[in-house]
Amino acid sequence: MGLPPALGKVYLVGAGFGGPEHLTLKALRALEEGEVVLHDRLVHPGVLALARGQLVPVGKEGYGARTEQEAIHRLMVQLAREGRTVVRLKGGDPMVFGRGGEEALFLKEAGIPYEVVPGVTSAVGALSSLGLPLTHRGLAHSFAVATGHDPSLPLPQADTLVLLMPLHALGGLKGRLLERFSPETPLALLARVGWEGEEVRLGRVEDLPGLGEGLPSPALLVVGEVVSLYGRLLP
């Protein structure tokens, strides 16, 4: 009988936001090395085009088609035990609402070698690319990032608040935001930053939920006085 194949390795890779210009060099090297790329739905096609291995979609779409997380866990382990180099590719950063921590723990418990490759999360990068600072002297000295898909969750305390995946919960989020901010506090809804169809909608807390009507995903909501700087900081 032949010996079993040596264990492969899994890279948990953040693709950043938008197109391939926001990839890190380490992420690019992983894409070039990976034999199988298990990718989320919200990874830009330009990033996927850089992969040299087999592309396998394992994305989740809110309120739609999805690959169960447990199935992704099992597939990563199976491929690594076959001796394959696997890239688990996620938008943004794998450790920011990307379930990268769960996947890392599963791989560790299964005895599979793995490495985390950070990415530029949209909560920071998308705002910066549009000239929207998270902090600014005299306006904001703190920021917080939270999930926006569940309005029952408490919102963190910070001068600038960024909510990811908020579109289906804007009505409920309005009440939560009014517990923290005045109705006149400026906000911005950002959609598909770095993609075709990029859209920015400006308003105030009192304008929710109507301001988000018809907005495509991926989207995020930023609330705070720094939004008043939009359009003033870009050259």
Active site residue 9: no
User: In 82-169, which ranges are continuous DSSP H helix?
Assistant: 100-110, 122-129
Question: What does DSSP say about strands 54-57 and 36-39: parallel, antiparallel, or unpaired?
Answer: parallel
- Rama region for 83: left / alpha / beta (φ>0; ψ in -120 to 50; rest): left
Q: Which of 9, 40, 76, 90 is catalytic?
A: 40
Angle (nearest 5°) at CA 17 between 126 and 233: 20
Active site residue 93: no
Q: Torsion angle of alpha carbons 121, 126, 132, 133, nearest 10°?
A: 20
Instruction: Please tell me the distance from the alpha carbon of residue 185 to that of residue 211, in angstroms, as a whole number.
Output: 14
**CB neighbours of residue 164 within 10 Å:** 19
Active site residue 60: yes
Q: Which of 9, 90, 93, 165 is catalytic?
A: 165
Catalytic sites, residue numbers = 40, 60, 165
